[in-house]
Amino acid sequence: MTVLRLNPSATSSYGRHMRNTMDKVTATQLSTYNDEFNADVKNKLATLTISRDSYSEALGDRSSYLQHPAVFSHKLSIDPPITNQKRSGRCWIFACLNILRLQMMQEYKLEELELSQPFVFFYDKLEKANWFLENVLATADEDVDGRVVQYLLKDPVNDGGQFDMIVALLEKYGVVPKEAYPETFHTSNSGEMDALITSRLREFAEQLRQAQAEGKSAEELRERKRGMLAEVHRVLVVSLGQPPERVTWAFYNKDKKFHEFRGISPLEFYKSYVKVDCTRLVSLINDPRNAYMRKYTVQYLGNVAEAQGVRYVNVDIESMKQYASRVIQSGRPVWFGCDVGKFRISSKGLLDCKAIDYKSAFNFALGSTKAQRLQYGDSAMTHAMVLTGVHIEDDRPVRWRVENSWGDASGVKGYLTLTDEWFSEYVYQIVLDKSDLPQRVVDVLDQDAVELPPWDPMGALAQ
């Protein structure tokens, strides 16, 4: 496995000089800035307009959303009810289960169906706690103030995730219908529970590191860890409820016929009724900083200890769009990850690089490349959704239809439209079946993975 690491470097004499001679903001500078601002009458108009509303609404370019109506030449035949992750970071789970339910709805002739995101969420929290504690043990001889240990301590049970992480959960635990394990306050409002578990895990980290320093054996350390995990399990059951071991799935189909399947385990429900082999799904990323047609992973990124971890194949953006378009035109959805906060007009449900006219208000336009935004921390994958349509003109995609998980009051009845230019700039990941990819892309999975450092933007978790 190839490992990419940041090269530690001593502070240069240039750096020391610049810190020791730091330039300060002076009263003269402020006076000049104010004079220049007040001399331009356009600034007063900008202030009157923008101070009363968000940038996206005040500076929204009308021509942008008129040019990109929510009409698509290719769209999935089924529009299931929009889901709502509410005040939680479970988008990656919602997006995956929203894809899985479509095949079930077609096979069983259902008008609506929702799979239990809380069920997957429960086991993700438990597995992440175990993953964290195992990594605490693996780094127990490293400096607690070092970058790796501090990174691990930062957010050990983050709600977010990567696609390979939900595959690991589904393959181990399965899934159930939503009515068998519904929402609680803490699934929909996870912040308080997350904070409690995180504080307790940090206490556990200190205890495990201290025990390791005292010379406790690996088995003694792991026995302590199992007791710690039991406490996390208790918090989860109290907050979310105990996940069912057997469920009954009963429903009326579109023909008003009643069906009932009793005594199904969650894993059996996943294998026998969902019927999607998620192990065949491949995560493609577009990371222009790094070589294409290479396999990548991220150090310390995962949740289920025995799973293969997160792996990506890096492809150019035009290939990514071509593969996604073909799948949608064949009538199937595509899971994808993007930086959803960039150039979004929420009220119009539009994501477009030309949608917000910053230059008219501030006299500058943002011009970094995708690679530069990744390198300098200005962008990363923040959210996962589902592509359900594409509009083709002259054999090229112009705009894409998106099913979100923010409820039907968001966007246009729960859907968004993103332009093809926005796709190029802010979409970082899609997930496709191996059969939808050229063999040369699938063969990349046989390579040794290039391991990126844990803080790399390709390790960002969709929330």
Structure tokens given for 59: 């500076």
Tell me, rounded to whole angstroms, the distance of Cα 235 from its chain centroid: 25
What is the three-class DSSP state of 454? Answer: coil
Specify whether 91 is catalytic.
yes
Annotated catalytic residue within 98, 303, 314, 404: 404
Instruction: Write the CA distances from 15 to 7, 11, 147, integer angstroms.
Output: 17, 6, 21
Annotated catalytic residue within 130, 286, 314, 383: 383
- 53-58 contact pairs (CB < 8 A, 24+): 55/356, 55/358, 55/361, 56/344, 56/345, 56/346, 56/355, 56/356, 57/345, 57/346, 57/347, 58/361
Specify whether 338 is catalytic.
no
Residue with token string 């709805």:
105
Residue with token string 């477009």:
352
450-452 and 2-3 strand pairing: parallel
Instruction: Write the CA distances from 416 to 345, 358, 395, 450, integer angstroms.
Output: 10, 22, 22, 34
DSSP alpha helix (H) spans, 139-249: 147-154, 163-173, 185-188, 191-213, 218-240
Tell me, rounded to whole angstroms, the distance of Cα 177 from its chain centroid: 23
Give the total residue count for the chain: 463
Give residue 308's identity as a one-letter amino acid code: Q
Q: Answer for the pair 344, 351: CB distance below 8 angstroms, yes or no.
A: yes
Annotated catalytic residue within 68, 84, 91, 186: 91
In this structure, the dihedral spanned by the alpha carbons of residues 415, 337, 95 and 104, taken in order and rounded to 10 degrees, is 100
Determine the Cα angle at 310 with ends 309 and 312, to 5°.
140
Specify whether 286 is catalytic.
no
Strand partners, 147: none
What is the three-class DSSP state of 32? Answer: helix
What residues act catalytically?
91, 383, 404
